[in-house]
A and B are shown apart, each in its own frame.
Chain A
Amino acid sequence: MTDTTVAFEPSIRNGETLLEVDDLTVVFDTEDGVVQAVSDMTWSLAAGETLAILGESGSGKSVSVQTLMGLIPKPPGRVVKGSIRYRGEELVDASAAKLRQIRGSEIAMIFQDPLSALNPVYRVGWQIAEMFRIHRGASRSDANRRAVELMERVGIPNAAARARQYPHEFSGGMRQRAMIAMALALDPKVLIADEPTTALDVTVQAQIMELLQEIQRDTGMGLVLITHDLGVVASVADRVVVMYAGRTVETGPADPFYAAPAHPYAQGLMNSVPRLLGERFRLESIPGSPPSAINMPNGCAFHPRCPHAVDRCHQERPAFVELTDRPGGAACHRTGEF
């Protein structure tokens, strides 16, 4: 089965399409062979829209954005096929100069661990002000003033005083706010957040998600949230992309997806999440573990763990098809049967 047609879903919001990832395949050349990090991945993002890319570790959920941000080391990484376009402009083969111009000012990114993304020996305010000094040629005092304004905007109390502190003097939540301030400095049109709340306590998680939503409402930027946590993005995502073993297994608008996921993996994931409300059931776990990227099962990569697998699933990789009963698509031979 080599059919790689992927349902291309129009964005829900009618904003301008900012990012288009089309049929992207990225591999890594390793001593043990060629590892498929992500295969045939397709998604798009419009202005004002929030796209959640969901998956567990090793699912390839971060690879497409790392590729577009130029964060994949090449070698060993290689884009085998596909394209990534920002407002129609191809990024896969773009020059370093072109990428530098787009990164930061057009597309910004925040990470899971803000401590490793901040320089420990410079004051936080200085690091934020650097964005204005380098990219906008602002004077020192002007840049510092704008940095403090930004810190206020992302909810850092006593911003003027906190600007003179070092990253280690900030709590985890405050560091993530500082990272968000830095990402917003140049008014990007797209913000990519890779597990932005995973390292944070639950009460702080809620604060950060609220902040991201508020900023999006104000600026109309497109937001890509990459996470393993189905709960954290439930209330903010417009659309979801679910990844398993380097492939998209399901996409669709968030509400119907959460109400009734179509792919058996997405169903299993949803049933694995312990709940705070309702009856306390025994968790329905997915048996086994995800396959190694070097030794992918034939056919559907999920078949060894799938409760619904039939012979066909062992031999033939399911094509991505649109769902019949609701918007969205899934890569499963038995879509709609359960």
Chain B
Amino acid sequence: MTSTESALPPPSGAPYAPSSDALLSVRGLVKEFPQRGGLPGRPLPPVQAVSGIDFDVPAGKTHGLVGESGCGKSTVARTVLRLEKPTAGAAMFEGADLFGMDRTALRDARRNIQIVFQDPFASLNPRMTVQTIIEEPLVIHGVSSGDEREARVADLLRRVGLSPEHANRYPHQFSGGQRQRVGIARALALEPRLIIADEPVSALDVSIQAQVVNLLRDIQDESGVGYLFIAHDLAIVRNISDLVSVMYLGKIVETGTRDEIFDHASHPYTKALLSAVPEPNPVTERVRQRIVLEGDVPSPADPPSGCRFRTRCWKAQEQCIHEVPALIDRGAGHPVACHFPE
């Protein structure tokens, strides 16, 4: 945590000014994890999980953060919530500096920022009833009395498509999709302005994924909550997001509106990612030109110099080794971090 001033630093690549209606504005976010081990005097380099990223979540909108495993997208979620201590950068929530807050202020802010986790099996306490799980935020923040809480929980259960009779059951009595609904009900209990959803549907079956995605969209239409929606599944991100940022090895490589990213992708990595998503249609699948990336994602403890994607990029040239490409609009109409965008 470096910056305690409330003024937001300019975005690192200066692609766009923080919009005044942004619910959440993140600038220059860096998170490094020190590594244990190494020799005396020669410690191991830190793991650079997130290396300077900027993004906004406008009120009532969804910003999808998409990338493959290890790209740092979940670290972004955890750092914004201050479940991890940021190494550098700033995060403004409704104009208040999240990283500069003391404990009391942070607790108040967290009333308005809730999280939904990936694994509905691990994120619910098996010894608590659904009633206790959902009302816990209400108790902690002291927002309502006992009777009110019961009514409120019944209300929340109905809102996420469960029935009030479910309140006295335990998590193991529910299916995966129902558990995720319980997790969403808990996140909604305090009527937050922002929900950070970290892979909320990736543990669920296809038919249930669609239910939960629809539920999240309905809740947003009704309540105007903003989502930071973190996922690896591009098709789901396309379905739910207004804005999309693509992450690779700790950096955002391309950002824009949903249609800009999905219809006019210009970063080679975005293009490769999009070309790899299979569609359930054998006729189009067989003729599709697929960009198959060579090799693996490099280690975030020792990322490549210059452009981090260059080791797997078919367009890489000398410049990519020496010069970090800034995330700026290069004529595509939206910011792209590539020296040779398409």
Contacts of B236 in A (CB 8 A): 274
CB distance from A286 to the nearest CB of B (A): 4
Indicate if B142 sits at the interface (CB-CB under 8 A). Answer: no
Name the interface residues of B243-301: CB closer than 8 Å to any CB of A. 258, 262, 272-274, 276-286, 288, 290, 292-293, 295-297
Look across to chain B and name the residue whose beta carbon is closest to the beta carbon of A231. B278
Indicate if B304 sits at the interface (CB-CB under 8 A). Answer: no
Contact bitstring B314-340, A, C-beta under 8 A = 1, else 0: 000000000000000000000000000
Q: Say yes or no: A285-B210 contact (C-beta < 8 A), given A206-B276, A274-B239.
A: yes
A174 touches B296 (CB 8 A): yes
Name the interface residues of B172-213: CB closer than 8 Å to any CB of A. 175-178, 205-211, 213
Contacts of B235 in A (CB 8 A): 273-276
Indicate if A93 sits at the interface (CB-CB under 8 A). Answer: no
Indicate if B149 sits at the interface (CB-CB under 8 A). Answer: no
Name the interface residues of B215-257: CB closer than 8 Å to any CB of A. 217, 232-236, 238-239
Q: Which of A255, A271, A280, A286 contacts B239 (CB 8 A)?
A: A280
CB distance from B219 to the nearest CB of A (A): 14
Q: Say yes or no: A230-B280 contact (C-beta < 8 A), given A280-B238, A283-B239.
A: yes
Look across to chain A and name the residue whose beta carbon is closest to the beta carbon of B213. A283
Indicate if A161 sits at the interface (CB-CB under 8 A). Answer: no
Q: Kindly state the separation between the CA atoms of A71 and B21 in the bound complex, as whole angstroms.
A: 57
Contacts of A228 in B (CB 8 A): 205-206
B214 touches A282 (CB 8 A): yes
Contacts of A255 in B (CB 8 A): 282-283
Contacts of A284 in B (CB 8 A): 210
Indicate if A166 sits at the interface (CB-CB under 8 A). Answer: no
B282 touches A203 (CB 8 A): no
Look across to chain B and name the residue whose beta carbon is closest to the beta carbon of A170. B296
Q: Say yes or no: A283-B210 contact (C-beta < 8 A), given A235-B282, A235-B285.
A: yes
Q: Which of B69, B207, B279, B293 contacts A272 (CB 8 A)?
A: B207
B281 touches A234 (CB 8 A): yes
Q: Kindly state the separation between the CA atoms of A127 and B205 in the bound complex, as whole angstroms.
A: 34
The 8 closest A-B pairs by CB, nearest first: A235-B285, A285-B210, A231-B278, A283-B210, A272-B210, A201-B68, A230-B280, A274-B235
**Residues of chain A at the chain B interface (Cβ within 8 Å):** 56-57, 157, 171-174, 201-203, 205-207, 209-210, 228-232, 234-235, 237, 254-255, 258-259, 268-277, 280, 282-287, 289-290
The 30 sampled A-B contact pairs (Cβ below 8 Å) are A56-B205, A173-B296, A203-B273, A203-B276, A203-B293, A205-B276, A206-B276, A206-B292, A210-B290, A228-B206, A229-B206, A229-B278, A235-B282, A254-B282, A255-B283, A258-B280, A258-B281, A259-B283, A269-B207, A270-B280, A273-B280, A274-B210, A274-B233, A274-B236, A276-B235, A276-B274, A280-B239, A285-B211, A286-B210, A290-B175
